[in-house]
Homo-oligomer: A and B are copies of this chain.
């Protein structure tokens, strides 16, 4: 039940430990970490800069988390997303979910990532080693990944 937007990196081990706390009803914790890859469509990456929409980003992440909490009975959840300039190998996002049994934690983490990818107002700009730079195009798969969660 926590959303953070930050420039700094995060410590996954410490975050998962804090998420769990001393809640002994938690039997399953799922984490997703997204990180900057070294090779992208256009070539070798020097760095990636994440622009975002201050204000809307936080509220959109909270909406996504609220929706996950409505759909699955989670004991705890966490979304951390970074912004600013990151290098290959650096972490971008951490999503973690905790529940009594594994199915709910897995589904909720996937749901949060799918929604985040198509709704949270972040934009990636890649700078390649050869000096070129450009905005990353949205992946077609991300829209369809979001759509599988639609309830009628």
* Residues in A lying within 8 Å of B, measured CB to CB: 11-14, 16-17, 20, 22, 24-39, 88-89, 100, 102-103, 105-106, 109-110, 113, 141, 145
B22 engages A28 (CB within 8 Å): no
Contacts A102-B113, A113-B102 given; does A27 touch B31 at CB 8 Å: no
The chain B residue with its CB closest to the CB of A25 is B37
The CA of A26 and the CA of B92, in the complex, are separated in Å by 12
B89 engages A24 (CB within 8 Å): yes
Contacts A12-B13, A13-B12 given; does A32 touch B37 at CB 8 Å: no
Give the Cβ gap from A82 to chain B, nearest Cβ, in Å.
14
Contacts A37-B100, A103-B141 given; does A32 touch B29 at CB 8 Å: yes
24 A-B contact pairs sorted by A residue (CB < 8 Å): A11-B13, A12-B16, A12-B17, A13-B14, A16-B31, A24-B36, A24-B39, A24-B89, A25-B37, A25-B39, A27-B34, A27-B35, A27-B36, A27-B37, A29-B32, A29-B33, A30-B109, A31-B33, A32-B102, A102-B113, A103-B141, A103-B145, A106-B106, A106-B113
